[in-house]
Structure 1
């Protein structure tokens, strides 16, 4: 490859230790694991692999440890179409996650390991990010890196579109991820801002406040000359799991339903949803469309919701990620 891929993601590539539990335990409670296994995950890697399955040319900026977990993560990436040339190796323990998944597909996640938390961008990383067409950033990215990505994007001669997923609650991110002041900068700078209910409640104070704050940031940035063509830019989506999602565009919120499927495992659903939005809203609609031919709000949300729904019908974060044809067939069966 002569240059960076058009889409670059900054995020973790981890090995998930997956426990199929009888129930998600309450405080001081317990559960029984009927199965224990491992799978590949990490927000950055999940988004990259999802975009790769949809036919996108995508790369990952990350850091793993020089240990068994890091080696397995790099081996897995090598078997995908994701450009992993910007995944560095450090001498600290690889970031990894323990996932508890109950019979209904709901889950709880605990993360350990220092490798991704110690990621820093070098000059080559900055040059690649500045040259990309789209940059994805997760809230779990160390704050120094998030600020460096912002500075790089904002100073680029032809700035890439910026996508930010808040990913976790403010309390969870402090000390290991993007800090509140940097989140505020990203809210005003991102072409697409994504947050789930937990993250939105922690940062904005509640769903109504989240919509109001995001809409105000859009109006402040867009003015009479929106940054992108379409039904109002920048855009944001607040996800509510099985209860659907709220898209905020042009300073207004619109609610959408999630697709009803038999959920096997919801791990990675949010990441696959974000990848679907990047595919349809940011990178161009059908894998070959120009960046000015992006899908409308409703079409983009439905496509992303279909990607997430299909992924939930398989175990783990990535094996169920669909191809573009599978998403289109899923939507056609439902009249879209």
Structure 2
């Protein structure tokens, strides 16, 4: 039996404080919500859970606070069969994300980093965790110095680096030079390149990284690689309830499919199916599908 793909994730772990409303409030406006939930999240932890549920052997590197949220976050990752040996506990509060979800499934998010802000580099054992993986998943909810340290370690050990450039911000040249696959959504791609055309954005990004996937929400994903024609992979048509963490679900599932050696268009279609399943459910990690569900959906 082929072992599952080994995936390391270096990134944020947050408690998501989610309010559901008919319409998101405008500045100065108060609205009445229909429900409130606390759900484990954070882009790093989300990608770790998504990859583990999709069938990967996942190790999480990051930090939580010495508070009740930290205990809950660690337990949630362990319950998802994510190795938490690289998840530090530091003094102070865990990271939180305040999320407003409207009746159309759209969301707006405020992130307070908390313990995530302490992950400015690698700790003892992290280099070995990265070296043991086939891929390292990175995002930008921890300090850039920590992201860059992870990318350097991965490159030194020949580990594939997959970077989700969110929240969008200018990226150091050294980070891009150590990235194998960049996965922005269409808004992040526009912020990085100054063009809203995903094909033009992808072409421009290929000057800095060898492969790019621009996620386009309901329209699917655009894959571009140096020396090849771009490929648009459609997404399944579903009714979205909550789009929170759909992108993280996509990246986690993509890492598993790629780690299994699937051709990129097939891997993207499988990852899109995982994301489509997730948006039909409420919450971040709580909405992420298991491998058997993705396989059944793709038929």
TM-score (norm 1): 0.81
Q: What SS class does the counterpart of residue 64 from structure 1 fall into? A: strand
Asked if the contact 2:113–2:141 (Cα under 8 Å) also holds between the matched residues in 1, the reply is no
**How far apart in 1 are the matches of 2:70 and 2:37?**
17
- 2:181 aligned to 188, 192, 202, which one? 192
Higher relative contact order (CA 8 A, sep 6+): 2
Task: Name the structure 1 match of 2:167.
Answer: 168
**Mapping of 1:115-126 within 5 angstroms?**
115-119=115-119, 120-126=121-127
Does the Cα contact within 8 Å between 2:193 and 2:205 map onto a contact in 1? no
Tell whether the 8 Å contact from 1:164 to 1:186 is kept in structure 2 after alignment: no
Could you say which residue in structure 2 is the equivalent of 1:130?
131
Equivalence map 1:136-215=2 (5 Å): 136-156=137-157, 159-170=158-169, 180-182=170-172, 184-208=173-197, 209-215=200-206
| Structure 1 unaligned spans of 5+ | 171-179, 219-233, 285-293
Query: How far apart are residue 312 of structure 1 and its match?
Result: 0.9
Whether the 8 Å contact between 1:235 and 1:249 is mirrored in structure 2 is: yes
> Residue 59 of structure 2 contacts residue 83 of structure 2 at CA under 8 Å; is this kept in 1?
yes
CA-CA distance at 1:320 after TM superposition: 2.8
Count of aligned pairs between the two proteins: 291
Q: Quote the Cα distance in structure 2 between the aligned partners of 1:132 and 1:28.
A: 47
**d(CA) in 1 for partners of 2:177, 2:220:** 24
What is the alpha-carbon distance in structure 2 between the residues aligned to residue 160 and residue 126 of structure 1?
11
Deviation at 1:181, TM superposition (A): 4.3
- The within-5 A match list for 1:274-289 is 274-281=251-258, 283-284=259-260
Q: CA deviation at 1:67?
A: 0.9
Structure 2 gap segments, 5+ residues each: none
Give 1:67-78 correspondences, 5 Å limit: 67-78=67-78
Q: 1:59 to 1:24 in 2, by over 3 A?
A: same
Q: For 1:99-131, what per-residue CA distance to the aligned partner results, in whole angstroms no more than 9, with x for missing partners?
A: 100011110111114210111312321232123
Q: Residues 168 and 198 of structure 1 are in contact (CA less than 8 Å); yes or no, is this contact kept in structure 2? A: no
How many angstroms apart in 1 are the aligned matches of 2:44 and 2:65? 16
1:66–1:90: 8 Å Cα contact kept in structure 2?
A: yes
3-state SS, counterpart of residue 208 of structure 2: helix
User: Measured at CA, do residues 241 and 30 of structure 1 come closer, stay the same or move farther in structure 2, by a change above 3 Å?
Assistant: farther
Given candidates 223, 236, 242, the residue that maps to 1:265 is 242
Which residue is equivalent to 2:296?
329
Aligned residue for 1:49?
49
Give the TM-score taking structure 2 as reference length.
0.91
The CA RMSD over aligned residues, in Å, is 1.8
C-alpha displacement of 1:266: 0.7
Distance 2:153 2:266 in 1: 31
Matched, 1:241 2:217: yes
Q: Could you tell me which of 279, 293, 297 is aligned with 1:312? A: 279
